[in-house]
Amino acid sequence: MELAKEIQEFLLDDALERFIRYVKIWTTSDQSKEITPSTKNQLDLGKQLVGELKELNLENIVQDEYGFVYAYLPPSKDFEKVQPIGLLAHLDTSPSVSGKDVKPVIHKNYDGEPIKYAQDKELTLTFHDSPNLEGYIGLDIITSEGDTLLGADDKAGIAEIMTACNAWSKFNNLKHGPIYICFTPDEEIGIGIDKVDKNKLPEICYTVDGGEIGQLEYECFDAWLAQIKFKGLSIHPGHAKNKMINAIQIASRFFSELPEAESPEHTEEREGYYHLGEMEGKSEETTARMIIRDFVLENNQKRMDYIKSLKQTYELRYPGLKIEIDFKHQYLNMLEYIEKKPLTVELAKRSIEKAGLEVKINPIRGGTDGARLSTQGIVTPNIFTGGQLFHSRKEFIPTLALQKAAEVLIYLAHLWTQQK
């Protein structure tokens, strides 16, 4: 099967229209909350998707109490016994940068010059920020106006899945087996997938979340969260000698002990890191949140042991200081689970090639809902959306990526119909 030009044009137009619509809906998650969904705004996008899925004649459509949206696309005639697959994308955007009032801008026929932003005259997007940008000269590029992120992570994934669903309903020659759709809340803060109803998913799924055009990912970080509390003693500074235990100042010294070379801004490829993402407090008490990442579990254990040793050292150095550390395992490297079902990856590779793209295999320097699902028996590699510089005001996506990702999903579903 090869997609006709008519279908390719349909995919581009439909995915672009959906993407522009979805990014305008505010769905930032809130890492200070431990409820799902962490923000009610995510429900707004979910409700809209429920309505659109009904228009596309999918079945068993539901938005549950946690904000998950589930739907089922019945198979084409004579393909009822084909291996079912699931397609997932997440509703929320990162709390790292504002996702409120996103105003997408399409830069037509990108000429290679620095892209400028209406809301921040000092902000520019250049090849230095993203070397891949040079390969997109001549394409249309979508950014925000520079005062928010764009939201391609992961509204591009949602748009691409919805467009594929629209194409399956519109073009009868696009054959497929049973397909399960799931849009998830709170992926960015790592808690949403805890509430997923696994009975509504098949044993083979794909997330559509992040990655440059052509990228396929089935290895990710082993991930930990460290929440650290420093309890000191506040004394009037005029009478504080040998009495005050300044928690916020001590915390600053504590984190300065972490090796600078093992921070996100100094690591790449398979190198792990510590990342202090949040610290707040006063002299009496200070709290901090840190993530710890590596592709090897043992390397993360060494980092956590080092933090524990710093705790002992600092409590000795500052009598009366109390440091409380809570480590939480967020997700495992999914590689060993996905390798048990190699066909899942092989068909994804072939689908990317059939879309006319070079397959790029890279480990995810982050995580997806698929990492958690894979360890629970639902093998879930990740297919690209085509966006770049996620979680930043410079986030962008070429419109071609929206089309190509949708093509890959259509080819993928067709290839599964050919398996016995």
Q: Which are the catalytic amino acids?
A: 92, 187
Point out which residues pair with 182 in neighbouring strands.
70, 88
Residue pair 27/92 in contact (Cβ under 8 Å)? The answer is yes
The span from the CA of 112 to the CA of 109, in Å, is 9
What angle is formed at CA 386 by the lines to CA 16 and CA 224, rounded to 5 degrees?
125
Q: Is there a cis peptide before residue 37, judged by omega within 30 degrees of 0?
A: yes
The span from the CA of 24 to the CA of 99, in Å, is 9
Point out which residues pair with 93 in neighbouring strands.
28
DSSP category for residue 148: S
CB atoms within 10 A of CB 87: 26
Residue 57 backbone dihedrals phi, psi, to 5 degrees = 65, 30
Of 356, 347, 360, nearest to 414 by C-alpha is: 347
The span from the CA of 379 to the CA of 9, in Å, is 32
Point out which residues pair with 165 in neighbouring strands.
none
Measured between alpha carbons, how far apart are the two ends of the chain, in Å?
A: 18
